[in-house]
Structure 1
């Protein structure tokens, strides 16, 4: 059996029990904690016979890997890792899907925030490179606040090659966010239909090999001298514009 993953934080564990309770193996709760949020979690777990163990603050910190566990940690049966084949299947079923590509985002907090926004904006899948990028760690899941259970997380060997493949095979347009001379203000770019919106890394932006696969590049117009935003904030703004256009086109 694959090694258990650990989810921590009230939001993250509650969402998991609502959406995929069969994956929860054991709940560890802080000794002496007895409040409404915890009672709600225990109520959700009870019908599925989930084992519940009380634990010290130190024990929970070791399981979660950090002190910000909010007094609840779940040992969880891991999901199979999704890859290029799963992306193919998704696009065969829905060639008009909205996808989010993240080009070597390394901070799990930023990844979690992007996944949370993606789930809220109806993104079908988040696509990331397998190497030199943050994975769906317990920290990323905690920040995603339940979003990780609502959107597919697909890890690919080569992001640029994957973008080229889905363009050619499924006629998906690739739109990258960056400041260059050809970039359009995002609201002037058509973001309807099959689309992958690609966001660059926190410090370096889109790599040249990724830029080469973009059909269009766009930027978020800003006032004053501020030229860049945190990647998770920019992702939220860009996905909101895509969702707005897609709703208006129906």
Structure 2
């Protein structure tokens, strides 16, 4: 078996790497429940044998390898001290194109999509995926030139949510031209009935005063740098989350949760 792909110092895995590491108890359980046939190997602490007996029984039945290791070895394998006693090595989820995603979305139900513009922190991505799964987001879209992928850290922090919210790269059919690909992707979404809303820290109407569209693409910028001006200009509308003003803004995961909660309140899927 190939050696597992190793995250770099930022916690990233290659965007379309050969294998994926999933560490963290809830993340590992969620990945196994969703994609058992993609499991390739298991590393775990002795203390997790009873908790993960179903996964170990599956390994025995399929003749897959598993190893009981100590904390130091598991930290070396995962590149993190936050492994929670388990690491699964799996084939990565199937990569959806934007066209594939749009073809499988329900036509008669509210749909929520997220677009992360310039977000690069895997911990933020994991927290966003957890909120996105809770509120039934159909996908998280990333710009064509994004190198962000589902790292072990992101999957762990998502607490299993990463299995229900695919990452979709808005590559389109335009090779080597990120701006053109992004424009094409937004045009595809508009043709599919989506309204694009830029979520800004200030200077935009309150989300609580807005009539949110049923098919909504919410765009969030990176903390610190914010959203690119060109992306703001491409959006159909702008919204903000009102507050006391004592801090500049919410972190992205909290902002995502607030916005999605309001969309759910207005357009709950029955």
TM-score under structure 2 length normalisation: 0.82
Q: Of 39, 58, 67, which residue of structure 2 is paired with 1:24?
A: 39
**For 1:176, which of 180, 198, 202 is the aligned residue?**
198
**Are the aligned partners of 1:179 and 1:219 in contact in 2 as well (CA < 8 Å)?**
yes
Asked whether the equivalents of residues 18 and 44 of structure 1 are also in contact (C-alpha less than 8 Å), the reply is: no
* Backbone CA RMSD of aligned residues: 2.3
Alignment of 1:242 onto 2:242? no
Deviations 1:180-234 (A, max 9, x none): 64x2100111224111111111112111121122111000000143231111111
What are the residue-to-residue correspondences of 1:89-100 with 2, within 5 Å? Answer: 89-91=103-105, 96-100=110-114
The answer to whether residue 127 in structure 2 is matched with residue 113 in structure 1 is yes
- Answer yes or no: is 1:193 the counterpart of 2:214: yes
Q: Is the 8 A contact 2:205 2:238 kept in 1?
A: yes
Equivalent in the alignment of 2:236: 215
| Deviation, structure 1 residue 246 | 0.5
Between the aligned partners of 1:180 and 1:67, the Cα distance in structure 2 is 37
Higher helix share: 1
Within-5 A mapping of 1:105-144: 105-144=119-158
Relative distance call for 1:178 and 1:79 in structure 2 (3 A) is same
Q: How far has the Cα of 1:93 moved from its partner?
A: 5.4
Post-superposition Cα deviations, 1:35-82, rounded to whole Å, max 9, x if no partner, equal 5xx423222442463432112333322221222111211110122322
TM-score w.r.t. length of structure 1: 0.88
How many residue pairs were aligned?
Answer: 243
- Take 1:120 and 1:92, find their aligned partners in 2: how far apart are those partners? 18
Gaps of at least 5 residues in structure 1 are none
Q: Specify the alignment match of 1:165 in structure 2.
A: 188
Question: 4+ residue stretches of structure 1 with deviation over 6 A?
Answer: none
**Contact 2:201–2:249 (8 Å) recurs in 1:** no
Aligned to 1:74: 88
Mapped partners of 2:169, 2:244: distance in 1: 35
SS of 2:84's partner is coil
Moved more, 92-101 or 131-140: 92-101
Alpha-carbon distance between aligned partners in 1 of 2:88 and 2:114, rounded to the nearest angstrom? 28
Shift in Å, 1:92: 7.1
Who is 1:9 aligned against? Answer: 24
1:39 aligned partner: 50
Secondary structure of residue in 2 paired with 1:176? strand
